[in-house]
Structure 1
C-alpha cells in the first residue's frame, strides 16, 4: 500500500478514535442536535444503496449534513456547544451505523472514501467551532451577510482540502499524474460539489434561524438533485453500453483484431489525462476511439488486421465519412 494512503487512513483513524473517546468521556453536548444530524448523515449514507458507476459523490445528503453540523453555531437563535471532536464522533458513529447494511450486502464506501470524508469534515469543524464557541465569529461577522460569506469561505477551503485529498488518494492507486487528477477534482466542484457545499451552508443557516425543523425541508432539493443525477448516469451508462456493443461489431465481423477498439480507447484516455482534459472531454474522446473503425463495415473484404492506412486516401476518407454517419445515428 502506498505511503500516502497509509498516512491518510492512519490520520483519519487516529482522529476518529480520539473523537469517540473524548465524546464518550466528556458526554455529548446538545444530544438532540447530535442525534438529528447523526440520523441525517446515516440516511444520506444509506442512499449509497442505489449508487451507479460514475457517481463522484454517491452520498451527497450525508456529506451536506456532516458539513452543516460542522458549521453549526446556533440553533433557533440559541448557541450550540459541540466541539470539533464531537462533530467527528457524530460523523463516525453515523457512518458506522449506515455501513452495517452495506457490509451485509457486500458493498459500501471504501476506506479511502471514509478517510477523506472524516478529514474534510474535521477541517471544517476545526476552522469553525473554536471561533463559534468562543463567540468570536459572532463579534467579528455578526449574523448578517458577512457571517454567510464567512461560511461560504470555509466551505470553499473545505472543498479545496477535499479535492487535494481525493487527488492524492487516487494518484496513489493509479499511474495517472497528480496534476490532471487534481484538475478533475476541482472541476467536479462545479457540479455536485457546489450543490453539497451550498446545501450544507443553507442547512447551518436554516437551523440557526428556525431550529431543527428546518432540516427536513432543506434536504428535499438535494435529494431531488441526487435522483435526477442518477437518472442522467443511467442514460449515460446505456449510451456507453450501446457504443461499446456497436464498436465490437467490427471485431465480431472480422474487420479488426479482438479488443482493438477497447485498447485504443484506453490509450486515448490515458493520453487525454496527460493533456489535462476534463471528464466530459475524456468521455467524448473514449467514444470516438471506440467507434473509430466502425466505417470498415462498408468494406466488401476486410483489410488485413484492420490497417486502413494501407488503403488509398480516397478510400480512407470514404470509410471515415461512413463511420461518422453511423456515429451520428447514435445521438451521442
Structure 2
C-alpha cells in the first residue's frame, strides 16, 4: 500500500447532494482502510483544498457528488496542486455534469437519446408549444444536478411551468425531455470495460430521489434479464457514450429502453453513488468484485499517468 501514500477521501462538500456524498465517502473510506490504505476523510466544506499539500496528501479519491466535485471544479484545483485523483479530468467532468451539452454531443454522433428542448428560467416560454413538440408528456430536469434532484414528470402546461420554476431553484438552464415509456437501466464503467447492466424497477413514476434513497419497494435486477446479445449492445453504447464526453476511469451511464425496444441515453455520472448498496457496487459484485476490491481498482487508476 506504500505506493499510494497518504490518500484523502474527498466527500461532503456544499452541493445539493451533500448527504449522499457523506454516505458514499464513508463507505469508500471504510473500504480503503480495510485494505490497509493510509486513507483519511477530507470534507472541503470544512477544510480548504490548500491543506491537501500542507497535510502531505499524495492522491485524492473523489467522492464528491454534484457541483464542486463532479463538474470539473475540483479536478482543476487538483491539477493545479499536481495531486493525482480518481475519475474523469476537468473536461470530462464538466461536460458530463451538463446534461444539455452531453445530449448535444450524443446527437451530433448519432447516439440514441430522447427528443428534448432547452429553456432558461428567465425567458418567456410557450409551455403548451413545448409539450406539443415533445409528445405531450415530458421530464423536466435542471441541467447540472444529479440524484434526480429538481426533476418532475408533467403532462400539461400549468404543471410544466411549475416544474420549470421548481427546477430553476437549482439551475438557470432547464432540460425538457420527451417522456419515454419503458424500463430504466444503468451500465457501470470500470476502466475500459462495461460492467453487467442493472434494470431498476419502482412503483413510482420514475427512478426519482425517493426511489433511489428512501424506498423499500425499488428493485434492482442484475443480471438484468437481457439476452447476451442485447447486453453486449447496451455495453457498447454505454462505452461510446462515456468516451464521447471525454470521461474516464470509472462512472455510470443511465438509459431508458422504450416500448419500441430502442435504447435512449439519459446521462453520464462521473462520481456515482458508492454506498455498499449503490448501483456501481451492485454491478461490480456480479462482475466478481467485492466492494473493497472495487475501491482499490478505482484507486489504482491514480497510479497511471
Which is richer in strand?
2
Q: TM-score, normalised to structure 2's length?
A: 0.24
Which is richer in helix?
1
